[in-house]
Structure 1
């Protein structure tokens, strides 16, 4: 689907005030595409188009709108209209919306909500931000073990319109303890008088409400799940997590990691929805910290100023050594951070990682040093002593950079810091300092200066 073409069509219809054509165009587009186009329009135009949608599709589109557009809508539309929209959302989408809204908007919405639902919403809003409880929904099908298949299917038919998913049903007792799961497929092909107790799978993969959502995502990937039950400490079923929410979690976590690896404070807003001031603020702190930390490399150069004055040519190779070291360290940190995210590497694997990176770095370092030595002799026409010093330093720098790049994310994990923080910017600064010290020490030893 060509979103840009549809967006241009929308604007053309607005210019001509051809709202009937606009309404017809939106009726045939998937809700996700309509929301994507509305997200890119001015808030007032977006609201006009949104109000042309039929009620059932409007609620679906609303769940896919950006926080910025939904916040704008909440200020521009009447309170009753907003409440009607919220009521038609699935419970987990409702919670996601309320979490992003100002307190005064939340109070207005909750004011007319039944007491039982209000208590439930408040309970969900109190779950930690990155926990399983914060992304679960209560809209699932529960069955009793003593039901027959016929009774279960009848129950599903009656309750299905209000449920987010019906493909996996959850078997509970009278105290809501989770006993097992049964798929809709198994129910459809089973005999009508067969008991649920005989069909259900008692080997349950479940998470606790306070489990981290990244851990939840790893279980979905490992077991190829479409949904997963969430239980409390007494093994009572309190909700389920569906695959669409896990996809959102993976996108958010990957975005945060990429931003942190680039030395940027994480933000959930898209690139074009952030103001220049906000973007500058998110980048400024890390840049300032790295700028200050870079003064250490300047002091190292000042300390060896006499050596550089004696043999000025040494200064020409400093950028190459520092850049190679920074790149080598970033390669290792990227691989280890990815391994940690996928669960392939654990904190206890520090010695294994160090050994592997050491072997890799020696192979890479010697290869680069050999090529660099030939380049300096054949192309740069540098004397053998200088070429030997630079190439030997290159081996040392690559080894140090790769070992440090591999171990720093593990260290961060051990002290409960996001490993992505230990990525390119910080590693580059550390490796730069080590590269300079190694270079000048080696030069002093072999060149006798």
Structure 2
């Protein structure tokens, strides 16, 4: 059945057909369908799921969709579902919820789960401590491999993962990690301390969650130990949470580069008003910034009156400069995100992109000179050609360095979005154009 058919079945309340559809699809597919529907239909679809399948589907939902489902459940079902969630998933849900909803969740939890959730909520927002799972298996360094396997059998059912095992001393200080594979294959009497990798990468709970996820990506890790300031083990950042962190960060960057505020939730279920609100502020700011271009044109009005053909190439010039700046800005933000450049590289990046821009400008200038000469004469064509070289070099340098400078002063580089760079380059590109015209045409 297609997604449109599922919507029709929900509208017609055809329960048997909906149950058949649910039985034929995976949790992530069901979660996507729930995200597309309104609250009433989402709850109806969710209630048709079996207990185990319902939890699997619920964990695939983003926090806004989880709130939507929980809001329609009775207290017993509500408590049962939030109690079964992993602590890190529960904290992510509460971090995006109103206070009334948070209180309802905390009140419905068992004392143990409430204490675990409160502990994770105590870490700063955006820190890896909020995303780690404390449900891990720790092994004392003096255990033998056989004793360690017995402990895994005992504690494993309550752990989120058993593939990476944290080795600690008597005070829970981090000694290293050992994989389940190495432990199973080791001789039974071999000590865990001999199998542990003491050089395993680890992070402090207060460190940035996105940076920690990027570290896992760069080092090809399935999980990352999290410790406190005294190197005591707190938990693990697992690959599923790392992937979600990177996806959320990339989505936010894409939204900001398009001059919009990021929103949470499924696109198809977000209201039109919410989408408009995420974009309107930036559009207002860009309108204000665009007045710079108007002021430049007004300032050089007399130049345009003397050589009116210059006006023909204004759209071409500012469009080319804006695009060159946007390309450089996008490359710079991406390189920052994946750690390929640092803020200290700003001068090297500026010089590099300036040369890239000049190379592009020369290529375009050759074309512009030929076309311009055929239509408006050598003087204006030469003005256009030289301006293209200068504007492309300037635009690429500005577009690449602005995100780096923003990062240095603790501003999200993506905020220095493509439209903002384009607007700035439009105004400064016109200044370059008219200054070159004055020099070449003697006006």
Is the pair's TM-score, using the shorter chain for normalization, greater than 0.5? Answer: yes
Aligned to 2:184: 188
Report the alpha carbon displacement of residue 424 of structure 1 after superposing the two structures with TM.
1.2
Matches within 5 A, 1:234-253: 234-253=230-249
Aligned partners of 1:17 and 1:341: how far apart in 2? 46
Structure 1 residues 21 and 440, CA gap change in structure 2 (3 angstroms): closer
Report the alpha carbon displacement of residue 11 of structure 1 after superposing the two structures with TM.
4.4
Q: Which one of the candidate residues 365, 390, 404 is aligned to 1:396?
A: 390
Structure 1 residues 12 and 396, CA gap change in structure 2 (3 angstroms): closer
3-state SS in 2 of match to 1:239: strand
Aligned to 1:310: 306
How many residue pairs get aligned? The number is 443
Structure 1 residues 159 and 367, CA gap change in structure 2 (3 angstroms): same
Q: Which one of the candidate residues 332, 337, 345 is aligned to 1:336?
A: 332
Structure 1 residues 444 and 13, CA gap change in structure 2 (3 angstroms): closer
Structure 1 residues 20 and 177, CA gap change in structure 2 (3 angstroms): same
Aligned partners of 1:259 and 1:12: how far apart in 2? 32
Higher mean C-alpha deviation, range 168-177 or range 111-120: 111-120
Instruction: Return the TM-score normalized by structure 1.
Output: 0.94
1:281 aligns with 2:277: yes
Report the alpha carbon displacement of residue 394 of structure 1 after superposing the two structures with TM.
1.0
Aligned to 2:415: 421
1:93 aligns with 2:89: yes
3-state SS in 2 of match to 1:121: helix
Structure 1 residues 279 and 386, CA gap change in structure 2 (3 angstroms): same
Structure 1 residues 69 and 356, CA gap change in structure 2 (3 angstroms): closer
Answer yes or no: is the 8 Å Cα contact 1:149–1:196 preserved in 2. Answer: yes
Report the alpha carbon displacement of residue 359 of structure 1 after superposing the two structures with TM.
1.8
Deviations 1:128-163 (A, max 9, x none): 221111111111111111111111111112222221
Deviations 1:235-256 (A, max 9, x none): 1111110011111111111111
Aligned to 1:409: 403
Answer yes or no: is the 8 Å Cα contact 2:35–2:266 preserved in 1. Answer: no
Higher mean C-alpha deviation, range 21-30 or range 253-262: 21-30
Structure 1 residues 42 and 277, CA gap change in structure 2 (3 angstroms): closer
Structure 1 residues 18 and 440, CA gap change in structure 2 (3 angstroms): closer
Aligned to 2:352: 356
Answer yes or no: is the 8 Å Cα contact 1:6–1:37 preserved in 2. Answer: no
Report the alpha carbon displacement of residue 49 of structure 1 after superposing the two structures with TM.
2.5
Aligned to 1:446: 440
Aligned to 1:102: 98
3-state SS in 2 of match to 1:29: coil
Q: Which one of the candidate residues 339, 342, 350 is aligned to 1:346?
A: 342
5+ residue gaps, structure 1: none
Q: Which one of the candidate residues 421, 427, 432 is aligned to 1:433?
A: 427
Report the alpha carbon displacement of residue 116 of structure 1 after superposing the two structures with TM.
4.2
Higher mean C-alpha deviation, range 20-29 or range 311-320: 20-29
Aligned to 2:132: 136
Aligned to 2:321: 325
Answer yes or no: is the 8 Å Cα contact 1:59–1:86 preserved in 2. Answer: no
Aligned partners of 1:269 and 1:209: how far apart in 2? 27
Answer yes or no: is the 8 Å Cα contact 1:259–1:266 preserved in 2. Answer: yes
Answer yes or no: is the 8 Å Cα contact 1:135–1:245 preserved in 2. Answer: yes
Deviations 1:299-355 (A, max 9, x none): 111111111111111111111110111011111111111111111101111121122
Answer yes or no: is the 8 Å Cα contact 1:218–1:342 preserved in 2. Answer: yes
Deviations 1:75-117 (A, max 9, x none): 3221121110111112211222222332222222322434443
Aligned partners of 1:438 and 1:18: how far apart in 2? 67
Aligned partners of 2:42 and 2:429: how far apart in 1? 55
Aligned to 2:370: 374
Aligned partners of 1:44 and 1:311: how far apart in 2? 65
- Cα RMSD of the aligned pairs, angstroms, is 1.8
Structure 1 residues 45 and 300, CA gap change in structure 2 (3 angstroms): closer
5+ residue gaps, structure 2: none
Answer yes or no: is the 8 Å Cα contact 1:79–1:109 preserved in 2. Answer: no
Report the alpha carbon displacement of residue 41 of structure 1 after superposing the two structures with TM.
2.6
Aligned partners of 1:128 and 1:434: how far apart in 2? 41
Instruction: Return the TM-score normalized by structure 2.
Output: 0.95
Aligned partners of 2:356 and 2:5: how far apart in 1? 55
